[in-house]
Amino acid sequence: MNKLGIHSLLFTSDWNPESGREVFRQAAELGYDLVEVLMFDPADADAAATRALSEEFGVGVATGICGTLTADLSNPDPEIARRGEELIVQAIGVTRDMGASMMGGPTFSAVHRYLSAPSPQAWERMPEIYGRLAAAGERAGVRVGLEALNRYESNFVNTVGQAAEIVRAVSPEWLFVHGDLFHMNIEERDLATALTEVADVLGYVHVAESNRGRLGDGNIDWDSVFGALARIDYQGPITFESFSGSVTGPDFATLVGLWREPWSDPVEVAADGLAHLRRHLSKAKGN
């Protein structure tokens, strides 16, 4: 049975004990199994409070982390790449302390409109870097994901197939492919085929509409997507992700090019999203 999650940014751009309590409360009342906590800076994350809230409300935790322009594994500058590795190792520890066992996101680069192709040196050193990250994850009991981003938000890993190459070459046990339908809908030839081709290393799925709004309001072929997940017997988490600038604030909205307000009521959208997930999972499994 897939655990169904809700992304923290659907409710709040801040993560602290007060905002976190509201997110966990809403998730529990709506019937979600887990909350994905996006860590902008692991040093600022209150892991103990998050774990306590998870236990209080009986809702699990997964985490996400992005590189930054000054801590970026894909940067040709060895010092910036080193800081990127340190950031991910720190985030692994925070994920463990939150009581989570999976950390996804674009661990390999910043969310940024890069203006040139990645350097060959960056590709060459990735197996070594992710080997060390996999070892850090194993020590902490945390699996580390690679979320393929579209070409406008990263120049490095743009397809789930590229992510799978690194995972398979390094450590399928402690690394995983993190598929996000919003990004996949831009970069992949066919969503169902792409998911099927990485079935052996697919560990986490972001369900997001093509316009990052309400599920069903875009052009994603949901029957095809959930049919593929059923055929490959995908058992991992499925987390609903949607953004609205009134919640995320202008900085994040600018970062991802969120120029329109797709919705204004997060609770309504979260409830509708969970119904959408359950309906299509049931249909795909023939229930």
pLDDT at 260: 85
Q: Is the pLDDT score of 133 beyond 80?
A: yes
pLDDT at 251: 86
pLDDT at 245: 85
Question: pTM surpassing 0.85?
Answer: yes
Catalytic residue status for 79: no
pLDDT at 230: 97
What is the chain's mean pLDDT, rounded? 95
Q: Which of 147, 153, 188, 209 is catalytic?
A: 147
Q: Which of 165, 188, 209, 241 is catalytic?
A: 241
Residue 104: count other Cβ atoms within 10 Å of its Cβ: 28
Q: Quote the CA–CA distance of 92 and 94 in Å, as a whole number.
A: 5
Tokens 């560990």 identify what position?
Answer: 203
pLDDT band at 287 (very low <50, low <70, confident <90, very high): low
Write out the H or E segment, with its range, that includes residue 12.
none
Phi/psi zone of residue 257: left (φ > 0), alpha (ψ -120 to 50 degrees), beta?
left
Structural domains in the chain, sorted by start: 4-284 (3.20.20.150)
Catalytic residue status for 124: no
Query: Average of pLDDT values for 162-178?
Result: 98
